[in-house]
Structure 1
Amino acid sequence: MRNTTLIGSEGKLPEIGVINSWLLVLLAFTFMCSVAVGNLLLLLILLLWLFEGKFAEKFQRIKHNPFVWAVAAFVLLHFVGLLWTSDWGFAAFVMKKETRYLMIPILITVLRPEHIKYYPLAFMLSMVVLVAISYGIYLDIIPPYAILGLEQVEDPTPFVGHIVYNPVLAFTLYLILYAVFLLDTLSWRVKALLLALFVIMSVNMFLTQGRMGQLVFLVLLTLFVFQFYHGKVLKPALVALLLVATIAPAAYLSSPVVQERVNVAIHEVENYREEPNSSVGLRVIMLLNSFELIEENPLLGVGTGDYHREYVRVNRENFPEATRGEILAHPHNVYVQEMVQFGVLGLLALCYLFYAMVRMYKQSASPFKPVMLAFPVFYFVIFFSDGYIMDHYLTLLFLLLGSILYSGHESANR
């Protein structure tokens, strides 16, 4: 076993495991701001993890973890799918995206009990910073600097587009509600500050263009109400209905952005044949094309790498004018994406991943238990609207929070 303690001239330096844990905190704080920084920190964590050794001890921590094995099964299916793949270039692209999920068991063994509160705190602080920048851009206080990665000033989501920003903001808002109302360890001053942040950040949600983020925010808000009134049905149902029936129309009537995005979505669905390259119209066409591919290959799919080639073939037969879909790497729906690639096996692997999370939630005594249910609900919903399982930011969020929530060591979550 390697000696994992470094000795300097001035005394003992932190163990490699401690350094790695702080790198994980840093990753939580920075991954929403930079793809390069996120990848670099993941690489450093992996290298230090390998250098540290203690592999037998680490394996003991994860060998009975259902979440780890569900993730492994999901990634393994992509390797198996190479057997009936012909497009190896696209297969390499897919594998590069999906093999990152193998960091889950590594990150679980990096977690340290004394740092457990810092990981989600660092993530939440990073979102506070992003929301502050977003307001600065919206109010013309901060110019749209190129470093902020803005595609358009009309959508003030710094570093990432609204497709990523709003869903991640929605989950952050849920975490704030959880901290205020379901945690007993915070002082009233901290809770008051968090409630103020919740209001400010909720308004920001409806100043930006991410429709899925706004939808999943309402879903998580509904879930939170049921968790707050634990064990009851009628009262939380009425409260949740009242909140959704108030917030949704208010957002539509008061926010020109929300109003425009909803109206545009309805128009594009109704006219997807006339406007095949519109945002929502293209999604409809991609789903129709993908359903045909699933019908052709219901059991095993087209393989890990053949989605793009097969999609282009079917699209040119059905919707040759929908050219934008031919340059995209997924059908904007994770469930359909997995079924196109692996047929029924793909859907089963994805369902098993959700099952493992819910199973560990039911068995858990962690104070994070409410979040352990919100997490799969969040991904279950957003997976319907985009290829989030391949997205850099949503993948890192999955790795980070999934490792914390489903470590399987209750003592690590206290």
Structure 2
Amino acid sequence: MITTLRERIPFINSWLLAGVFFSIPLTVAPAYWLSALILIFWLVEGRYAEKLRALAAEPLVWLFAAYYAVFALSLLWTEDLDWGRRMTGRQGFFLLFALYFSVARREHFGRYVSAFLLSVACCEALAFYNWAQLHVWPDLPDGIRVEKGADDTAPFVDRMMYTPALALAGYLAGHRLLFEARTAGVRMLYAVLLLSTTLNLLIAGGRAGLLGFLVLLALLVFQRFARRPLLAAALAGVLSLGIVAGGYAGNDYFRERVDAGIDELVNYQDRPNTSIGLRIVYASNAWRMFSESPWLGVGIGDYLVEYTKVNAIHTPQWEPMYNPHNQYLYALTNAGIPAGVLVLAVLLFPLVRRGPADGRQRIRKALPVLFIPICLFESYLMRSNLSMMYVLFLAALWCGVKERPA
């Protein structure tokens, strides 16, 4: 019976991994419990030498472990160790990459994507209800809604984390629509999901997520019309402008967010503690911090203390923050140039890495293409749900892949 159980563990773990994919747009707690269960089954299964050899041969395992390690090492020059350990834990999914890569099954990739898209579709339905309750029928019973902002419609996480997940879901729905669907009914299903995701992005209010979606939409068009780049450029431009113009004309909340963003950008010095103004100030002060400690950074636990000092000197009318809202500056300020190099490697290596033309090569490019621009506006690789999304999809996309020779 034990032998039979061990033989079934790879299939059990693959289903559990699909459950982790389902958790991406939800609260992150179920993902931790599922990951713990996956690890227990992984240990029970045995075959350690075989599995460890496969992990040692995968460069992303080493790259992600190094990325985690550079922040952990910065604890050596951190004074606030309690906060430092807490912030180091935010990089924990990069260590879990090895586990996910080990249990992911190449033939089940469609299952993982479907689990993610199903979860996003459920969240979108709840978000549409929340929007209707907020703006159309206020007498409706309160729905499931994250308690972060009065205008948030997302059910479980705020728009900062919700909309990048929507952006990837929109791309994956479009990819299935253009490259995978074989019947009219299936095409209609993914067309509806793509439209629903686009509308959800417009009512959610997350500007970085919408930007990421427009970048992915352009990428998808160029992938579809790879041999006709001029047509692809024109079509991508028309679609992007159409979505933004349509949202601006047809949605008061979207229009308010756009107008406020432009006003905050142009007049940020006169708009203390506004969203875009804060990001500009965070970036300028973070760069001052990096300039003072370029090689080792301030230590991952001491960012807020050091930032508060710099903020008091240069921008005292602005509120201090533990995070510069920029992944690149987050790495540089906390752990110096080595961390800056590693964050670039984490994002760029999957983009330039060669892989087989197996139908998934387009999606392998999409994930870093999403994160590279949005990481300018938030430290997304230390945000639990989205670092999990990045790690999970790369594990599933590269498991069992033999790289093409150069």
Aligned to 1:5: 4
| TM-superposition CA deviations, 1:94-115 (whole Å, max 9, x none) | 2211132111111111112443
The one-letter code of the counterpart of 1:42 is: S
Aligned to 1:163: 160
Aligned to 1:175: 172
TM-score (norm 2): 0.92
Contact 2:19 2:115 (C-alpha < 8 Å) held by counterparts: yes
> Which of 130, 151, 154 is equivalent to 1:137?
130
| 1:231 aligned counterpart, secondary structure | coil
Aligned to 1:402: 394
> Which of 368, 384, 388 is equivalent to 1:376?
368
Aligned equivalents of 1:287, 1:373: Cα separation in 2: 28
Superposed, which structure 2 residues align to 1:140-151 within 5 Å? 140=133, 143-145=141-143, 148-151=145-148
Contact 2:25 2:157 (C-alpha < 8 Å) held by counterparts: yes
> Which of 101, 106, 112 is equivalent to 2:94?
101
> Which of 314, 324, 336 is equivalent to 1:331?
324
Residues 64, 32 of structure 1: alpha-carbon distance in 2 compared, 3 angstrom cutoff: same
> Which of 67, 83, 88 is equivalent to 2:81?
88
Deviation of 1:47 after TM superposition, in Å, equals 2.5
Superposed, which structure 2 residues align to 1:301-312 within 5 Å? 301-312=297-308
Deviation of 1:331 after TM superposition, in Å, equals 0.6
- The question of 1:292 aligning with 2:288 is answered yes
Aligned equivalents of 2:197, 2:246: Cα separation in 1: 16
| 1:206 aligned counterpart, secondary structure | helix
Residues 297, 151 of structure 1: alpha-carbon distance in 2 compared, 3 angstrom cutoff: closer
Aligned to 2:117: 124
Percent sequence identity over matched residues?
31
| TM-superposition CA deviations, 1:125-175 (whole Å, max 9, x none) | 000011111111222376334x54343453311111111111111110100
| TM-superposition CA deviations, 1:184-212 (whole Å, max 9, x none) | x6322111221122122212221221111
Structure 2 spans left out of the alignment, 5+ residues? none
Moved more, 128-137 or 277-286: 277-286
Aligned to 1:10: none
- The question of 1:392 aligning with 2:405 is answered no
Contact 2:80 2:302 (C-alpha < 8 Å) held by counterparts: yes
Residues 358, 31 of structure 1: alpha-carbon distance in 2 compared, 3 angstrom cutoff: closer
Provide the aligned C-alpha RMSD in A. Answer: 2.2
Residues 170, 55 of structure 1: alpha-carbon distance in 2 compared, 3 angstrom cutoff: same
- The question of 1:191 aligning with 2:169 is answered no
| 2:331 aligned counterpart, secondary structure | helix
The one-letter code of the counterpart of 2:213 is: F
| TM-superposition CA deviations, 1:199-245 (whole Å, max 9, x none) | 22212221221111111111111111111111332221122122223
| TM-superposition CA deviations, 1:314-355 (whole Å, max 9, x none) | 1111222222x33xx311000011111222222211111223
Deviation of 1:374 after TM superposition, in Å, equals 0.6
Deviation of 1:308 after TM superposition, in Å, equals 1.6
Aligned equivalents of 1:377, 1:4: Cα separation in 2: 43
Aligned equivalents of 1:212, 1:144: Cα separation in 2: 27
Moved more, 89-98 or 297-306: 297-306
Contact 1:150 1:156 (C-alpha < 8 Å) held by counterparts: no
Contact 1:173 1:198 (C-alpha < 8 Å) held by counterparts: yes
Aligned to 1:280: 276
Contact 1:144 1:153 (C-alpha < 8 Å) held by counterparts: no
Deviation of 1:263 after TM superposition, in Å, equals 1.2
Moved more, 63-72 or 257-266: 63-72
Superposed, which structure 2 residues align to 1:344-363 within 5 Å? 344-360=337-353, 362-363=354-355
Deviation of 1:273 after TM superposition, in Å, equals 3.1
> Which of 210, 227, 230 is equivalent to 2:226?
230
Aligned equivalents of 2:156, 2:270: Cα separation in 1: 33
Aligned equivalents of 1:151, 1:79: Cα separation in 2: 30
Aligned equivalents of 1:363, 1:221: Cα separation in 2: 22
Contact 2:294 2:337 (C-alpha < 8 Å) held by counterparts: yes
The one-letter code of the counterpart of 2:331 is: E
Moved more, 42-51 or 288-297: 42-51
Aligned equivalents of 1:252, 1:202: Cα separation in 2: 13
The one-letter code of the counterpart of 1:165 is: Y
Residues 14, 251 of structure 1: alpha-carbon distance in 2 compared, 3 angstrom cutoff: same
Moved more, 50-59 or 126-135: 50-59
Aligned equivalents of 1:182, 1:115: Cα separation in 2: 18
Contact 1:87 1:306 (C-alpha < 8 Å) held by counterparts: yes
Aligned to 2:66: 73
Aligned equivalents of 1:209, 1:143: Cα separation in 2: 22
Residues 143, 392 of structure 1: alpha-carbon distance in 2 compared, 3 angstrom cutoff: farther
Deviation of 1:410 after TM superposition, in Å, equals 5.8
Aligned equivalents of 1:144, 1:35: Cα separation in 2: 23
| 1:342 aligned counterpart, secondary structure | helix
Residues 169, 373 of structure 1: alpha-carbon distance in 2 compared, 3 angstrom cutoff: same
- The question of 1:48 aligning with 2:41 is answered yes
The one-letter code of the counterpart of 2:74 is: G
Q: Which runs of 4+ in 1 moved over 4 A?
A: none
| TM-superposition CA deviations, 1:6-43 (whole Å, max 9, x none) | 3xxxxxx9722222211111121234222321221122
Residues 153, 341 of structure 1: alpha-carbon distance in 2 compared, 3 angstrom cutoff: closer
The one-letter code of the counterpart of 1:5 is: T
- The question of 1:209 aligning with 2:202 is answered no
> Which of 204, 214, 220 is equivalent to 1:218?
214
Contact 2:19 2:31 (C-alpha < 8 Å) held by counterparts: no
Aligned to 1:342: 335
The one-letter code of the counterpart of 1:367 is: G
| TM-superposition CA deviations, 1:391-410 (whole Å, max 9, x none) | 11102211221211122526
Residues 410, 148 of structure 1: alpha-carbon distance in 2 compared, 3 angstrom cutoff: farther
